[in-house]
Structure 1
Amino acid sequence: MPDVKKVIRNYRKKMGNINFSRQVEYQKAFKKYDVKNNIILYESFHGKGMTDNPFAIFKYLVNNPEYKNMKHIWVLNNYEDNGYYNYYKKFANVEFVKTHTKKYFYYLVTAKYLINSVSFPPYFLKKEEQVYVNTWHGTPLKTLGKDMEGSITQHSNLQRNFLQTDYILSPNEFTSEKIVYSHDINDIYTGKVLENGYPRIDNIFYESQVLESNFSILKGNKKLVLYAPTWRGEVGKVDDIVFQIVQSINDIVENINIDEYEFLVKVHPLVYKYIEGMDFEGITLIPNWVDTDELLHYIDILVTDYSSIFFDFLVTDKPIIFYLYDKDEYLEKRGVYLDLDNLPGSICYSAEDVSKNITESNTIVNRYKVQVERYKKQFTHYDNGSVIKDYVAHIFLAKQSVVEKDYNNKKSNIVMYAGAFLNNGVTTSAINLSKLFPYDKYNLIIIDKSRGNKTFEDNIKRLSPNVHMAYRGGGMNLTFYEWVRYNRFMNYSKVENVDFYKEVVQQEWKRLLGDINIEVGIDFSGYVPFWTFMMAFSGFPNRIIYQHNDMAAEKLKVVGGKKVHSKNLTRIFSLYKFFDFIAAVGEKTLELNRANLSEYTEENQFVYIPNVLDPDSLFMHRSEPSLEKTAIFNENMLLINDQRDHGRVNATAITAPTIKGKNFINIGRLSPEKDQEKLLQAFALLLREEGPIHQLYLVGSGELEKTLKAETISLGIEDNVIFTGQTNKAIELLDKCDCFVLSSNHEGQPMTLLEAIALNKPVIATNIEGNRSVLGDNSQYGDIVENSVDGLLNGMKKFLSGEMKSSHDFDIQKYDNYAMEEFTKMINYRD
């Protein structure tokens, strides 16, 4: 039994983590309170203001007698000096809450209608009775989601939110397509996109009592010019941005007649706090709380850059000036969807040119009439000042009053965890499978963590473009007692309460993927207890876990004096019985695992599903070689990696294959089960007999790298052994070498062995089950040798003497066809 005091101590420590404590408090509210039909919750930009589309919908509903019984909850973190708050706080049916508070949790789980312009926090989970409307916040000129530069996972919480919505509101077809495809929800989205213009644009058509009471200039005699630059840069790095904006403001105002024009400035909230106290002559700084579209009703001339504000302003038929002083830099860093040379207004690159266009603004509309009409036709054709009425009728009254688009292709869905996308055989196998996957019948969703390094991102980019990637951000929502139960399994591998596990796991899947109906769940890795747990208790009709190795041997694997997989694999083995299939990638591996793991499994669970090869990527280097010889210090080298930064090149080069002797190669993690130490000892003996004319490439990295390098020095072969580290050019290097050597003590179905024989390379492989699964007991592709130093030495000598059998008839297409037939049978077995 666990120590109760220790459990409580650990829990309190966890509660010190703000994200964990929010998950706990939200889960408590989620389980305690029921949905109330008369509550609407509005959130705009994570509680930064009462603005944008949610505000426009709120204004319509709060003033509509048909909805007088509704209670309106506004998420607002800063009430101070907010004109809308001061106005609406007097309404009996309007209440304000701050994010991540107990009241916020309460209303987030009880509101029948949830209306948001961006996204709810990672812990949010829509209840079945709730209606979630995501309005988004603009027609995108700038790239969105996976189209943006930066981290490949940066859109994960937005994607998760979109998958939970019942409706996404869109102003036009262009925006519908960009939101759906850039957030990778095409084909699998179960909600509907409602396309009928933007609620917030309705505000442009009408006066605002709140703004007029706060800003007398709106009713003055001067022409109102609004400068509204978009956000640039990164959060926490605003100094350069602030300087540029301040400089632009001063330079523009300096050259216009302030007796004729009132110059208004509305900047991003992160910039506003830096300039609100500055003394600007002849300008009015508009505070953050002001809704931009309400303000646009009064504006005569708009000056902006890459902000979607200009799309909204098109409905006024007033002049737009685009100040694109950093166009080239912005295009490189962020990217845009539209041609910046054909915008619906005057394009300027200097402040002086902006000032000149302001004074000549009466000519702009006529000068750019063609572009303006084209943009209006494409982007604002629905917007007539009353689009909210139709949206409300559709959402609240179930009337078919707007265009409703369905992006779901109705195919069955498979979700797969592929194993963190490390540089290893499991990743290669998953990538290859993604290329041959039967997309004609299924959608494939691969799920992983929401943060990764360059290796992680590079490998994801190698997947088929047909794959939908989902990234798990946040954590599982659990109360204290649920957390204790969950951790009893994770700490002690005891499966004690299957109904509880199913409840929390299925809730977590819903948090991650919304209402997507999953037919098949695949733990393709088979090494990570959390994802095995998630698949085992998912309730998916078909649950599959892969075995890529001799799993009993893996459990006993020792690195640095520790059994590194023992605890994790103990948990995983205890969950095998909850899977329909245990897919072994090698026939011999299947027999070994079935015998060694019989206490955890049933005999009929095991199936043989070989990994597939991707011929396109396997042979691509032959038509597009990248490993060309380069002379460095008068020596032939191969450049395997180079990173360029502002003219500086950080390059990694390795010794080129020798022409004096033969080039052996081993590809794999530098770890005990791969046993490259044995290979080094055999190679040292070979060089003693043959002389130092041959080379050995060790491709990979791992915990034994330093030990193996020290071993080469001890053996006196350091000049003949090349450690390449991790490289995406391993296959090309393999093709340049003469013989592949696999020295492993246990394997499942080694992908590098398959790749070597597909490239028609002679192979030497130790006599273990996984290698025999690939090569057969009497291999025609090379030699299966005794798993020892002498065995490897004799294999290399046999190769050098020309006695090794080597065949060139490996039929990749036939092999892949068989593998995919077996895979398809496995995922289809319920049909």
Structure 2
Amino acid sequence: MKLKDIYKRIKVTILNSYYSYYYYNIELNKKLILVESKSGGDLAGNMFHILLELSKPEYEDYNVYLSVLESKFVSIQNQLDKYSIKNVKMIRTNSYNYYKYLAMAKYLFTDTAFNRSYVKKEGQIITNTWHGTPLKKMGRDVDDRAYAIGNVQRNLLFADYLIYPNDYMKEKMIDAYMLKNLYDGTILNEGYPRNSVFFHKEIGEDIKRELGLEDKQVFIYMPTWRGTLVKKNTEHLLAVTEYQLRPLDKELKDNQVLYVKLHPFVSKDVDYSKYEHIKPYPDQYDTYEFMNMCDCLITDYSSVFYDFANTRKKIILFAYDETEYLRERGLYVPLNSLPFPVVKSVKDLVYELNSPKNYDDTQFLNECCTYDSPGAAGRICKHVIKGEKECREEKLPKNGKDIVIIFDSALAKNGLTTSLLNLFNNIDLKKRNYIVTFNEQALRKAPLRVAQIPEEVDIYPMSSGESFTLLEAIAYILYFKLNKENGFTEKYLERLYKREWKKQFGVVHFDYAIQFAGYEKKVINLFQRFEGHKSIYVHSDMVAEMKTRDNQHYLTLKNAYQKYDKVAVITRDIVPPTLEISGREDNIVVVSNCHAHKEVICKSKEPLAFDADTKCNITEQELKEILATDKKKFITIGRFSPEKGHMMLMKAFEKFSAKYRDVYLIIIGGHGVLYNQTLEYANNSEENIIIIKSIKNPMPVLKQCNFFILSSYYEGLGLTLLEADALGIPTMSTDIPGPQGFVRDHGGYLVEASEDGLEKGMIAFMKGVVKAMNVDYDKYNRKAVEQFDSLFK
């Protein structure tokens, strides 16, 4: 590890220790208020107007702190000075003082989310105003970003008060962040603090006089930021912006001025000196007070028009790149359904700027500006801080069903994910409220995996790793790295993971927690601290896992299997190794994995197609031609890992091929440490061995094969064995705990887990001895669902 990484870890650990000291030892200060706008990067909109309210004499006995990024100190201080806000102290975001006040403040206000380390302290009152009525899709509604909503989601669920200026926004936010049945706080149906300014025309008139614009027609252009934090693409955005502004400047009249407010990434590079009628937005003014001066708003996909509509002035949507933009980001409502004119060219934009408002926005105002009115900030602060019931309160109704949170690791292309999806395909999803959680970081490179989860099942990503204190870090190293278990490690790991549960899931009440993956020692320890009924799945022979792959932590498994209420093994064959680890038998139950046999049959009928990330040692066309022949095709499906026995299988196949020619062996896997080694062996072999890595739907390949082989050294059950059987394909398995019970029960074929055993099985197939099991999977699944339901008894 590099020195800078070590330094960073030490610094973070010291910060966490400092924060935890105040979290555990210092009482809340009832007169302390912490305000944060966009993670400290701004002071605008709702948070600015909340601060204006808190600067009034009636709050002079409160200590108000504003979280500000160091790079913003000067500009925000200038803004505070301009508006004579004197009783606010700025603190650097993520500094020692920031964490101190984060743990001490009785009242916290934000328009987005506090950082990922924040743990809500009992007694703290959080108000989240959010930062705009959504036009663009958000939360789970954005497929490639749904995996990363965890920090925002938990902050919304933490909040004691959520502010919604209209029912449309309330509905979209609740659905997109899946707050139904989880949120216990109070919704305030109240106007946005920032929008109150639109009901005071004199504020805009004062700015107009101050800027010497009394005889001018003033427009403001506020386009949406089109980049991302990862892919800024500022050069292209700058070129496109200037391409639009140059002809627009020439068409504007001398009595017209256009102010442009762009994202800072772009605006800093725009040379406004070459324009005669176009000027940069003067950032010493509050955005909303400045907009109040303007005669017309020009925007595109920005939700700012929901706010500006309160002025009853004209709004123009300049959507020159609508088709391109919508390919990357969807909208909740199509632009042409809004009352405002939509233009695609500078020529049409100029025409609309010189035309009076000629549309009726009455219905839009009723639906989207419902609660906006003067004095919103005052009512909110009195309601939240003074306890005066100034705002319309609402509680979200709940359906009264049990809430079950289920962990499933990275939702990768593997048996664990298949098992979970099969479960969801068979259980009654309306019987309980199911929520799937996973580590956000694990899906960063494959965000679309979230789309596999049925819409009826909510998601709740875990947005960060552990936040250690110094003593907890020592206990962690002793326990996980050195396998030391004593009073010290127990005390500090207990404290760590109880706090981590509060950090991730806060005040949300779950009735049941299921560690479905059964792997990942950190999450096993986290779920073990859930204060409710908890179950953990065992999908494999964990004794063999530790011997073969060394990928499990014995102390973690031992304590989990002893302390979870139920330990769900997926076949009776893996009860003995599980019992060997825990020494406790009374909490072990058999819960078979469901099998989506109907879906397997449907998928097998789809055309064979490689995916963008599929790798194969022959072409797709060559594979199709081989599958279409009458030659025998043997197949196995499983990750490229030691326990799957692929090397043993290939060697057995080479021996078999000396007796039987023109037979193919196909090995399909999603990932695994042995992929390169497996591929190299296959390519160097003189036999017909085909290696396929990462194919989303392998069923069309499986359907056209003659014989399925499960060659594992150890296994949970091996759902691919069931998939082959569902397609009527003869199967055989090595005689190992996991599949052996299932295969014996259904008259299947078992062989010794060796090259000789596999070769004999192949020969037996060629002689017609091995047949399909033809299991009744409807009956099998009914029993599996009954077993799953036993976890809730």
Unaligned runs of 5+ in 1: 1-5, 558-562, 628-638, 645-649
1:5-154 equivalences under 5 Å are 13=6, 15-16=8-9, 22-63=15-56, 65-77=57-69, 78-82=72-76, 83-87=78-82, 91=86, 93-148=87-142, 150-154=144-148
Residues 716, 619 of structure 1: alpha-carbon distance in 2 compared, 3 angstrom cutoff: same
Residues 683, 314 of structure 1: alpha-carbon distance in 2 compared, 3 angstrom cutoff: same
What is the CA RMSD across the aligned residues, in angstroms? 2.8
Counterpart among 445, 450, 473 of residue 460 in structure 1: 450
Q: Following TM superposition, by how much is the alpha carbon of 1:296 offset from its aligned partner in structure 2, in angstroms?
A: 2.1
Residues 18, 735 of structure 1: alpha-carbon distance in 2 compared, 3 angstrom cutoff: farther
Q: Following TM superposition, by how much is the alpha carbon of 1:785 offset from its aligned partner in structure 2, in angstroms?
A: 1.8
SS at match of 2:658: helix
Q: Check conservation: 1:224, 1:298, Cα contact below 8 A.
A: yes
Is 1:555 paired with 2:520?
Answer: no
**Percent identity between the aligned chains?**
27
Q: Following TM superposition, by how much is the alpha carbon of 1:297 offset from its aligned partner in structure 2, in angstroms?
A: 1.8
The letter of the residue matching 1:306 is: Y
1:339-350 equivalences under 5 Å are 339-350=334-345
Is 1:565 paired with 2:559?
Answer: no
Residues 40, 210 of structure 1: alpha-carbon distance in 2 compared, 3 angstrom cutoff: farther
Unaligned runs of 5+ in 2: none
Residues 338, 539 of structure 1: alpha-carbon distance in 2 compared, 3 angstrom cutoff: closer
SS at match of 1:281: coil
Q: Check conservation: 2:143, 2:448, Cα contact below 8 A.
A: no
The 1-side partners of 2:205 and 2:125 are apart by 31
Residues 393, 727 of structure 1: alpha-carbon distance in 2 compared, 3 angstrom cutoff: same
SS at match of 1:604: coil
Q: Check conservation: 1:664, 1:740, Cα contact below 8 A.
A: yes
Counterpart among 620, 635, 646 of residue 665 in structure 1: 635
1:778-789 equivalences under 5 Å are 779-780=746-747, 782-789=748-755
The letter of the residue matching 1:385 is: P
Count of residues paired in the alignment: 779
The 1-side partners of 2:212 and 2:187 are apart by 36
- 1:326 corresponds to which residue? 321
- 2:729 corresponds to which residue? 761
Residues 436, 346 of structure 1: alpha-carbon distance in 2 compared, 3 angstrom cutoff: same
The 1-side partners of 2:92 and 2:204 are apart by 22
Q: Deviations over 1:123-159 (max 9, x none)?
A: 1122111111111111111111222353442322211
Residues 535, 749 of structure 1: alpha-carbon distance in 2 compared, 3 angstrom cutoff: same
Is 1:732 paired with 2:717?
Answer: no
The 1-side partners of 2:677 and 2:42 are apart by 58
Residues 445, 654 of structure 1: alpha-carbon distance in 2 compared, 3 angstrom cutoff: farther
Is 1:686 paired with 2:656?
Answer: yes
The 1-side partners of 2:737 and 2:532 are apart by 32
- 2:768 corresponds to which residue? 802
Q: Deviations over 1:584-643 (max 9, x none)?
A: 11111113432x32xx33121211111111244322225x5121xxxxxxxxxxx32247
Counterpart among 599, 613, 626 of residue 607 in structure 2: 626
The 2-side partners of 1:592 and 1:502 are apart by 27
Q: Deviations over 1:235-270 (max 9, x none)?
A: 342122122223323322211212x12322222233
The letter of the residue matching 1:475 is: G
Q: Following TM superposition, by how much is the alpha carbon of 1:51 offset from its aligned partner in structure 2, in angstroms?
A: 1.2
The 2-side partners of 1:572 and 1:613 are apart by 27
Q: Check conservation: 2:409, 2:439, Cα contact below 8 A.
A: no
The 2-side partners of 1:121 and 1:455 are apart by 22
The 2-side partners of 1:512 and 1:211 are apart by 47
Counterpart among 522, 536, 551 of residue 530 in structure 1: 522
Q: Following TM superposition, by how much is the alpha carbon of 1:728 offset from its aligned partner in structure 2, in angstroms?
A: 1.5
- 1:205 corresponds to which residue? 199
The 1-side partners of 2:322 and 2:438 are apart by 35
Which 10-residue stretch deviates more, 501-510 or 327-336? Answer: 501-510
- 1:292 corresponds to which residue? 287
The 1-side partners of 2:273 and 2:554 are apart by 61
1:123-202 equivalences under 5 Å are 123-148=117-142, 150-202=144-196
Counterpart among 709, 715, 721 of residue 747 in structure 1: 715
Q: Check conservation: 2:682, 2:690, Cα contact below 8 A.
A: no
Residues 183, 652 of structure 1: alpha-carbon distance in 2 compared, 3 angstrom cutoff: farther
Q: Following TM superposition, by how much is the alpha carbon of 1:698 offset from its aligned partner in structure 2, in angstroms?
A: 0.4
The 1-side partners of 2:245 and 2:74 are apart by 26
Q: Check conservation: 1:520, 1:540, Cα contact below 8 A.
A: no
- 1:636 corresponds to which residue? none
SS at match of 1:776: helix
The 1-side partners of 2:648 and 2:200 are apart by 81
The 2-side partners of 1:247 and 1:679 are apart by 63
Is 1:812 paired with 2:777?
Answer: yes
Residues 582, 139 of structure 1: alpha-carbon distance in 2 compared, 3 angstrom cutoff: same
Residues 10, 825 of structure 1: alpha-carbon distance in 2 compared, 3 angstrom cutoff: farther
Q: Following TM superposition, by how much is the alpha carbon of 1:278 offset from its aligned partner in structure 2, in angstroms?
A: 4.9
Counterpart among 586, 610, 625 of residue 640 in structure 1: 610
The letter of the residue matching 1:38 is: K
Q: Check conservation: 2:126, 2:161, Cα contact below 8 A.
A: yes
The 1-side partners of 2:340 and 2:678 are apart by 65
The letter of the residue matching 1:244 is: V
Residues 407, 168 of structure 1: alpha-carbon distance in 2 compared, 3 angstrom cutoff: farther
Q: Deviations over 1:620-667 (max 9, x none)?
A: 225x5121xxxxxxxxxxx322479xxxxx985551315232211111
**Structure 1 length-normalised TM:** 0.88
**Structure 2 length-normalised TM:** 0.92
Q: Following TM superposition, by how much is the alpha carbon of 1:228 offset from its aligned partner in structure 2, in angstroms?
A: 1.3
Q: Check conservation: 1:764, 1:785, Cα contact below 8 A.
A: yes
Counterpart among 448, 459, 464 of residue 438 in structure 2: 448
The letter of the residue matching 2:730 is: P
Residues 270, 186 of structure 1: alpha-carbon distance in 2 compared, 3 angstrom cutoff: farther
1:462-611 equivalences under 5 Å are 462-497=452-487, 498-536=490-528, 538-557=529-548, 563-565=549-551, 568-594=553-579, 596-597=580-581, 600-611=582-593
Q: Deviations over 1:416-466 (max 9, x none)?
A: 221322322122112222333443343222222112458854443222222
